[in-house]
Chain A
Amino acid sequence: MSRKQIVILGAGTGGTMTANRLRRRFDPDEAEIHVIDRDDRHVYQPGLLFVPFGLAQVEEIVRPRRRQLRNGVVFHQNEVEEVWIERDEMLLDDGTVLPYDVLVVATGVRLQPEETEGMTGAGWNERVFTFYDPEGAEALRGALERFDGGRLVVNLVDMPIKCPVAPLEFAFLADWHLRERGVRHRTELVYATPLDGAFTKPIASEHLAGLLTEKEIELVTEFNAGEVDGIGGTLTSYDGRELDFDLLVTIPLHGGAPYVERSPGLGDALGFVPTDKRTLQTPAKPNVFALGDATDLPTSKAGSVTHFEAEVLTENIARYLADRELDADYDGHANCFIETGFHKALLIDFNYETEPLPGHFPTVFGLPLLRESRLNHLGKLAFQWVYWHALLPGREIPGIGPAMPTAGKKRTPVHT
Chain B
Amino acid sequence: MTMTPIADAPVDVDAEGFLTDPEQWNERIAQSIAAGNGVPELTDRHWLVVTFMRERYLATGTAPSIRSLGKESGVPIKELYQLFPKGPAKLAAKIGGIPKPKGCI
Known: A222-B86, A226-B77, A238-B77. A270 touches B105 (CB 8 A): no
B85 lies within 8 A of A239 (CB) = yes
Known: A226-B78, A238-B81, A239-B85. A270 touches B103 (CB 8 A): no
B105 lies within 8 A of A300 (CB) = yes
A117 to B104, CA, bound (A): 23
A253 to B70, CA, bound (A): 13
B105 lies within 8 A of A201 (CB) = yes
Known: A159-B103, A299-B105. A268 touches B67 (CB 8 A): no
A159's contact among B65, B80, B81, by CB below 8 Å, is which?
A: B65
The interface bits of chain B over 65-105 (1 if a CB of A lies within 8 angstroms of the residue's CB, else 0) are 11110011000011011000111000000000000001111
A298 lies within 8 A of B102 (CB) = yes
B67 lies within 8 A of A200 (CB) = no
Residues of A within 8 Å of B104, CB to CB, are 159-160, 200, 298
Tell me the chain B residues, 36-63 only, with Cβ under 8 Å from chain A.
62
Interface size range of chain A in the complex: 20 to 34
Residues of B within 8 Å of A160, CB to CB, are 104-105
A300 to B105, CA, bound (A): 5
> A224 within 8 Å of B by Cβ?
yes
Tell me the chain A residues, 297-320 only, with Cβ under 8 Å from chain B.
298-300
Residues of A within 8 Å of B65, CB to CB, are 158-159
How far does the Cβ of A177 sit from chain B's closest Cβ, in whole Å? Answer: 28
> A195 within 8 Å of B by Cβ?
yes
B78 lies within 8 A of A238 (CB) = yes
A269 lies within 8 A of B86 (CB) = no
> A405 within 8 Å of B by Cβ?
no
B105's contact among A164, A238, A253, A269, by CB below 8 Å, is which?
A: A164
Q: Determine the residue in chain A with the shortest Cβ distance to B60.
A: A274
Residues of A within 8 Å of B66, CB to CB, are 158, 224
Q: Determine the residue in chain B with the shortest Cβ distance to A305.
A: B105
Residues of A within 8 Å of B71, CB to CB, are 269-270
Residues of A within 8 Å of B67, CB to CB, are 158, 253, 270
How far does the Cβ of A135 sit from chain B's closest Cβ, in whole Å? Answer: 25
A222 to B85, CA, bound (A): 12
Q: Determine the residue in chain B with the shortest Cβ distance to A297.
A: B105
A164 to B68, CA, bound (A): 19
How far does the Cβ of B88 sit from chain A's closest Cβ, in whole Å? Answer: 8
The interface bits of chain A over 58-88 (1 if a CB of B lies within 8 angstroms of the residue's CB, else 0) are 0000000000000000000000000000000
From B67, B72, B78, residue with most partner A Cβ within 10 Å? B67
Q: Determine the residue in chain B with the shortest Cβ distance to A164.
A: B105
A269's contact among B62, B72, B102, B103, by CB below 8 Å, is which?
A: B72
How far does the Cβ of B75 sit from chain A's closest Cβ, in whole Å? Answer: 13
A222's contact among B68, B77, B87, by CB below 8 Å, is which?
A: B87
Residues of A within 8 Å of B87, CB to CB, are 222, 224
Tell me the chain B residues, 6-32 only, with Cβ under 8 Å from chain A.
none
Closest 7 CB pairs of A and B: A159-B104, A238-B81, A160-B104, A269-B71, A200-B105, A269-B72, A200-B103
Query: What is B's interface to A at a CB cutoff of 8 Å?
Result: 62, 65-68, 71-72, 77-78, 80-81, 85-87, 102-105
- List 18 interface pairs A-B (beta carbons < 8 Å), by A numbering: A159-B105, A160-B105, A195-B103, A200-B104, A200-B105, A222-B86, A224-B81, A224-B87, A226-B77, A238-B77, A238-B81, A239-B86, A269-B68, A269-B72, A270-B68, A298-B104, A299-B105, A300-B105
Contacts A158-B67, A238-B77, A298-B62 given; 14 further ones with Cβ under 8 A? A158-B66, A160-B105, A164-B105, A196-B103, A200-B104, A224-B81, A239-B81, A268-B68, A269-B68, A269-B71, A270-B67, A270-B68, A299-B105, A300-B105
